[in-house]
Chain A
Amino acid sequence: MRPPFLALLALLSMTLTSSNVQAAKPVKTLPNGLRTVIVEDHASPVVSLQIWVRCGGVNEAGLTSGVSHFLEHMIFKGTDKISANEISKIVESNGGSINAATASETTHYFIDMPSNKWEEAFDVLSQSVLNPAFPPTEFEKERRVILEEIKRRNDDPQSDLWDGFLEALYTQTPYRQKVIGSVQTITDMPRSLMVDQHKKYYVPNNMVVVVVGDVKKKEVSKKIKEVFGGLPKGTLPPAPNLIEPPAENSDVRTIRRSAKQAYLALGIVGPTLKDPNQVAMDVLAATLGGGQSSRLYQTLREEKRLVWSVSSSFITHSGSGAFGVFAECPPEKVRSLPNDIYFLFHEIEFNGFKPEEVARAKAQLRSSWLFSQETYHGQASQWGFYTTLGAPELVSHYLKRLDAVTPKALATLLSQYTIGRPMGGIVVTPENSSVQ
C-alpha cells in the first residue's frame, strides 16, 4: 500500500491542467478580492464544491501551533442557524460527503455530491466556513478529539519521518511547523485564539471558491455573488517569509522508535512555485525516482538491494519547495544510504541524463496529470491549490513547460540543487537497531 505521506507528496507535487479548462480560463475575481473558479462539465451528474483559505501551519508560531487545523475541525460544529448534526445530515442524506484538510499554506473544505442539490450544499458549506459559532462545549470536546488524533499520528513512523524531514530542511521558515500542533499547544489553546485566526484569515481576499461539475456556470456565479459578494475585504496580517536560505551543513538526524524497518528522508530546499524551474524539478524528481526504471529504484533496490522501496518527489510550496528522496530499508542498511544517494547523483552529474529516461519521466507526469482530471474533486482540488497560492496560470502552462524540459536542463538542476548544496534529512529506525 502506498504510504500516506507519499500520497500527500503526490498531491502536493501534482501540477495540473486539462484541455477544457485551459480554454475556459475560469478564474475570476470579485471586487472584494474573492477568487472564483467555475468549471461546467456534464459528463457525470455530480459536483465538487470547495472553499480554499490561504491559512495553515506557516501562519502559526510557538503557542499558536496547530490553531489552523483546530479551526478546521471546528468549522463543521455549527453556526448560529444550523447545528453540527444538521450540517453533516443535509450533505449525507443527499448522497454527499463533507470533509476538510489543513496543510502548511492552505485549509480547504469540500462537499462532493450528486449535482441535483448543489445549491443547498453550497449554502451549508459557505455558511459553515463564514459564520462558525465555535460553541465552547464543542470546542472542549474537539480539543480531546485532536489530542487523540495526535496519538494516532504518533503511532505511525512515517509521521516522525515527515516531521523530521521538514525540520531538517527548513530551519528559518515556518514550513517546519507541525500542522497538527503539539499536545502542549492543543491542551493550552484558548478559544479566543481560534476566533482571532478565523477573523484574520477567513476574509474574501484570502479565499478561493471552486465549483466543478454538473452545474450551470451562470447559476453558480450568481450564487457565489449572493453569498460572498457583500463581504468586506479584510486586512491580512503580514505574510511570513517563506524563502529558506540554502543549508550550510549536511545533517541527517536519527530518531529511534517502535518500528519494524528503517525509513530515510533526504532532501534539499528547491525553487518556489513561480520559479521557471518549478516544473523541471517535477521532471527531475520523476527521472531520479518516479518509477521502477528510475535511477534510484534500479540502483538502490534492484542492483544493490539496499532498500525495499525508494522514490523521489518535489513538494511544491509558494515559497521554497522541497526535493526529497524517501526510502524504506532494513535498519542495518540505512546508514550507508545517504552516501549511496550522493554517489549516484555525482555519477549522473558526470555522465548526464539519457534522453529516453527523461522522456519516460515526462510521459509519466503527463499521464498523471490526465488521470488526475478524471474526477471533479480532483479538478477542483488542483484549481483550488494553485489559485490559492497565487499561480492559477500553472494550470494552463504546465504541459508546455513540461515539454520544454531537456536532459541538459535537468543536469544543471541536479548540480545546482542536490550536489551543489548539502542535503539534510532524517532516519527513523527501530529502537533496538545499531544505527548511529
Chain B
Amino acid sequence: MTAALSVVRADTTTVQEFSNGLKWIHRTVKHNRILAFQMFIPGGEIQEPVEQAGLTQLMTATMVKGTTHRSALDLAQEMEMLGASFGVDAQPDAMAVGGQVTVDKWVKTFDLFEDILLRPSFPEAEVEKERAALLNAIHTNDEHIFNVAEERFRQELFGSHPYGRPDGGTVKSVSPLTREDLVAWHKARVSPRGAVLVTVGNVPLGPFRRRVEAFAHAWSDSPSAPSSSPAVVYPTVSRVAEETKPFEQSYLMLGYPAPSVDSPRYPVVKLVNALLGGGMSSPLFRVVREEGTLAYEVSSFFPSRRRGSSFVVYAGMDPKNLGLAEEKVRSVLADFASRPPAAQDLEDAKNYIRGHFLMDHQTNGRLAWYLGWWELLGKGFAFDTIYPDEISRVSAEDVHRVYQEILAQPSVTVRVISKGSSSVPTP
C-alpha cells in the first residue's frame, strides 16, 4: 500500500509525498476553468545507452498508442471527446507527460492519464509506425538550418555525453530498437521514485486528492532507483566545426560551457544572457543586426540543465556576411568582458527577466511546468517565487566575474556554410 508520507499546505498550494517516491504538488487557481497537469519523471534520454539513443523518444511516442485497456484509436477518441490536450515528451533530463482539460472533465482525463503512464501495451504495429515517424523526423531535421547548427554545436561541446547526442537518436540507434526494448525501458525508467506530479486548477480538492492517492497506490515502486546521470566533460581546447549544406543562408553558433541549474552562478548567467542577447535593445541585436545589418536573426540562449549547460550566441545571415558577422559577434562578446555592466543596464536586464517570467506564468499549463521543473531539478517548487529575488541580488561585479570565467574557457564555433558559397576565412 502506498501511503501518504506528508501533506503540507502553503497558501493555495498542497504538497503530498507518497511512500513510493512520488511527490504531488497541487496549486488551486480560480480565475479560469482549466486543469493543467504535468508529470516529470527524472532521467530518460540522459540514461540511454549510446547504442540505444532515441529509446526514450520512441517509448514516449508509443505510450499514447495503446494500453492494456485501450487501443490507439480508443485513446485518441476519448481524449478528443474530452477536448483534452495531451503530450508525452522525452527531454534531456526528464520524461514529461502533461496536458490540460476543462475542470469539469478531470475524472475521465485522469483515468486516461493513469492508463497511458502506467499501462502502455506498446503494440508491435504501433511501434513500427512510430519508429518510421521518428526515423523520418531524424531525416528532416536537416531541413532546418538552426537545428543543423545546434545539433553540431552540442556534439562538439558535450562530446560523448548524452547532451551531445542528436534529439531522438540516430538512424543507426533507432532502427534496431524492439518492442521488448520499449517494455523493459518503461519498466525500468517510468518509476515513481523522484517523480513529480503537478496539477493546477480549480478542481474539487477532496475527490481529486482521493483520485491522486489511488493513482499513487497503483504505481508500484521501481525495482531500481534511477541511476545517476554522467558528468559532462567539456573540450579542453577551442573547437571550430563547419557544415556545408544546401541553404540560402549561412549560420553561426558560438558558445561556451555554462553552469548547471544548481550552481550559484545560474542566475548570474541568466543575467549575462539577458544583457547580451535579450530583446531588440540588446548589444548583439543592435550591433550585428541594426547597425551592421549583417544578420536577420541574432540572439543568445542559456538552457537550464541538470548536469552542465552552455551559453550560446547564434546568428543567421547572407553567406557573404558570415565572416564579418562573426567578427562583430566576437567584438560584442569581448567588449562586454572589458568592464562590469552599467548599473542601469543591469537593472534593465533584471526587469526584462522578471517581466518575462511574470508573463510566462499566465497559463495554468506554464505554471504547472515551472513548479514541476524546479522540483525535478532539485531546486524545489517554491523556487518559482524565489527565482526573481535571486535575479535581483546579482551584482554588476558578479556578472563581470562570472562572464570572464565563462569566456576564459575553450569555446565551440559552428559555421553552417551555404552550399555554393566560398569558405569563409576565420576572423
B144's contact among A88, A94, A114, A156, by CB below 8 Å, is which? A156
Contact A89 B348 (CB under 8 A): yes
Complex Cα gap A119–B133 (Å): 49
- Which B residues are in CB contact (< 8 Å) with A261? 136, 139-140
Q: Does A343 contact B (CB under 8 A)?
A: no
- Which A residues are in CB contact (< 8 Å) with B32? 43, 370, 373-374
Q: Does B111 contact A (CB under 8 A)?
A: no
From residue A339, how far is it (CB to closest CB) to chain B in Å? 22
From residue A376, how far is it (CB to closest CB) to chain B in Å? 7
Interface flags, B88-126, vs A, CB<8A=1, else 0? 000000000000111000000000000000000000000
Complex Cα gap A45–B355 (Å): 10
Contact A92 B249 (CB under 8 A): no
Contact A84 B290 (CB under 8 A): yes
Complex Cα gap A187–B210 (Å): 66
> Which residue of chain A has the shortest Cβ distance to B74 in the bound complex?
A293
From residue B146, how far is it (CB to closest CB) to chain A in Å? 10
Q: Does A416 contact B (CB under 8 A)?
A: no
Contact B101 A367 (CB under 8 A): yes
Complex Cα gap A398–B352 (Å): 37
Most chain B beta-carbon contacts within 10 A, residue among A89, A95, A260, A301: A95
A154's contact among B84, B248, B293, by CB below 8 Å, is which? B248
> Which residue of chain A has the shortest Cβ distance to B143 in the bound complex?
A260
Contact A93 B246 (CB under 8 A): no
A97's contact among B247, B279, B348, by CB below 8 Å, is which? B279
Instruction: Mark out the residues of chain B between 265 and 293 whose CB falls within 8 Å of any chain A CB in the assembled complex.
Output: 278-281, 286, 289-290, 293
A363's contact among B82, B279, B361, by CB below 8 Å, is which? B82
Complex Cα gap A359–B78 (Å): 11
Contact B139 A93 (CB under 8 A): no
Contact B145 A155 (CB under 8 A): yes
Given A154-B248, A157-B143, A302-B72, the answer on whether A148 and B318 have CB atoms closer than 8 Å is: yes
Instruction: Mark out the residues of chain A between 276 and 312 whose CB falls within 8 Å of any chain B CB in the assembled complex.
Output: 290-293, 298, 301-302, 305, 308
The number of chain A residues with a CB under 8 A from chain B is 62
From residue A382, how far is it (CB to closest CB) to chain B in Å? 15
From residue A75, how far is it (CB to closest CB) to chain B in Å? 12
> Which residue of chain B has the shortest Cβ distance to A150 in the bound complex?
B248
Complex Cα gap A414–B225 (Å): 55
From residue A258, how far is it (CB to closest CB) to chain B in Å? 4
B76's contact among A147, A291, A308, A330, by CB below 8 Å, is which? A291
From residue B388, how far is it (CB to closest CB) to chain A in Å? 10
Contact A308 B34 (CB under 8 A): no
Instruction: Mark out the residues of chain B between 55 and 80 whose CB falls within 8 Å of any chain A CB in the assembled complex.
Output: 72-73, 76-77, 79-80
Complex Cα gap A142–B292 (Å): 10
From residue A156, how far is it (CB to closest CB) to chain B in Å? 7
- Which A residues are in CB contact (< 8 Å) with B281? 85, 88-89, 92-93
> Which residue of chain A has the shortest Cβ distance to B101 in the bound complex?
A367
Complex Cα gap A152–B317 (Å): 8
Contact B73 A155 (CB under 8 A): no
- Which A residues are in CB contact (< 8 Å) with B364? 374
Contact B81 A114 (CB under 8 A): no
- Which A residues are in CB contact (< 8 Å) with B77? 293, 356, 360
Q: Does B160 contact A (CB under 8 A)?
A: no
Contact B73 A298 (CB under 8 A): yes
A374's contact among B278, B347, B362, by CB below 8 Å, is which? B362
Contact A96 B355 (CB under 8 A): yes
Contact B362 A292 (CB under 8 A): no
Complex Cα gap A361–B81 (Å): 8
- Which A residues are in CB contact (< 8 Å) with B80? 290-293, 360-361, 363-364
Q: Does B237 contact A (CB under 8 A)?
A: no
Contact A92 B348 (CB under 8 A): yes
Q: Does B83 contact A (CB under 8 A)?
A: yes
Most chain B beta-carbon contacts within 10 A, residue among A142, A157, A259, A292: A292
Q: Does A208 contact B (CB under 8 A)?
A: no
Q: Does B243 contact A (CB under 8 A)?
A: no
Residues of A within 8 A of B (CB): 43-46, 76, 84-85, 88-89, 92-98, 112-114, 141-142, 144-145, 147-149, 151-152, 154-157, 258-261, 290-293, 298, 301-302, 305, 308, 328, 330, 356, 359-361, 363-364, 366-368, 370-371, 373-376
With A141-B293, A305-B132, A367-B101 known, 12 other A-B pairs at CB within 8 A are A89-B281, A114-B358, A145-B293, A148-B316, A155-B145, A260-B140, A359-B81, A363-B82, A364-B80, A366-B83, A374-B362, A374-B363
What are some 5 contacts across the A-B interface (CB < 8 A)? A95-B352, A260-B143, A261-B136, A261-B140, A305-B132
9 closest A-B pairs by CB: A95-B355, A367-B83, A93-B348, A292-B76, A88-B280, A148-B296, A363-B83, A293-B76, A43-B31
